[in-house]
């Protein structure tokens, strides 16, 4: 099960993704992908630290498929979110 951890930036509300070294990025392509339970735990620990530093809020993980080497959401909701824009 491959997944990505996401949140909303506390100040701006923008959708952000957890990437290498615990940096939050807007671009889903640059998100860290967890492929094991150990990966997940590590990402969760980084996310918790960011919550406690009041950087992000509403943290959760969602499933991705790897397409052309890039994490791609499997749900419509996360696709829309990663585009940071409505679809019409």
Partner 1 sequence: MSEPKPLLKAVKPLQVPTRLWRGYAFATDLWRPTANEEAIPSAGYALISLARWRIEQADVLALGTPIGIFVGSGETIEPVTDQIEQLSVIALEFAKFSDGRAYSVARRLREAGYTGEIRATGDVLIDQIPLMLRSGFDAFEVAHAATVNALEQGRIPAVSRVYQTGADTGPAGDGFRHRRGTRSTSAAGKTEP
Partner 2 sequence: MYRYDEFDHGFVAERSRQFRDQVERRLAGALTEEQFKPLRLQNGLYLQLHAYMLRVAIPYGVLSARQLRKLAFIARKWDRNFGHFTTRQNIQFNWIKLEDAPDILNALAEVEMHAIQTSGNCIRNVTADPYAGVAIDEIEDPRIWAEVLRQWSTIHPEFTFLPRKFKFAVTGAAEDRAAILFHDVGLKIVKGVNGATGFRVYAGGGQGRTPYVAQELAPFVPTARILSYLEALMRVYNLHGRRDNIYKARIKILVNALGIDEFRTQVEAEWERLDKSAIDLPAAEFERIAAYFQPKHLPPHPHKDPHIEQRRSIDLSFARWLRTNVLPHRAPGYAIVNISFKEPGKVPGDATAEQMEQVATLAERYGHDEIRVTYQQNLVLPTIAIADLSRVYDGLVQAGLHTANTELITDIIACPGLDYCNLANARSIGIAQEIAKRFAEPEAAEAIGPLRLNISGCINACGHHHAGNIGILGVDKKGTEHYQITLGGSPKDDAAIGDIVGPSFPAQDVPGAVEVIIATYLKLRRDPSETFVALYRRLGKTPFREALYGLDRATAADLSEDANV
- Contact residues for partner 2 (CB under 8 A)? 8, 10-15, 51-54, 57-58, 74-77, 80-81, 84-88
Per the listing, tokens 């909701």 go with 77
CB of 69 to partner 1, least distance (A): 25
In the bound complex, what is the minimum distance in angstroms from residue 57's beta carbon to partner 1? Answer: 9
State the Cα–Cα distance between residues 35 and 80, nearest whole angstrom: 23
**Cβ burial 20-31 (10 Å sphere, 16+ → b, else e):** eeeebeeebeeb
Which residue, 45 or 66, has its beta carbon nearer to partner 1? 45
Binding site for partner 1 (CB under 8 A): 5, 44, 47-48, 51-52, 58-62, 75-77
Instruction: Say if residues 17 and 5 touch (Cβ distance below 8 Å).
Output: yes
- For residue 77, the SS3 value is helix
Question: In the complex, what is the shortest distance from the CB of residue 13 to partner 1, in angstroms, rounded to a whole number?
Answer: 15
């Amino acid at each position: 099960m491959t997944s990505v951890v996401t949140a909303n930036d506390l100040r701006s509300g923008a959708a952000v993704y957890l990437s290498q070294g615990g940096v939050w990025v807007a671009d889903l392509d640059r998100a860290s992908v967890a492929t094991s339970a150990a990966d997940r735990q590590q990402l969760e620990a980084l996310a918790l630290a960011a919550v406690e530093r009041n950087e992000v809020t509403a943290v959760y993980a969602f499933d991705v498929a790897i397409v052309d080497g890039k994490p791609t959401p499997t749900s419509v909701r996360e696709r829309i979110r990663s585009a940071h824009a409505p679809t019409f």
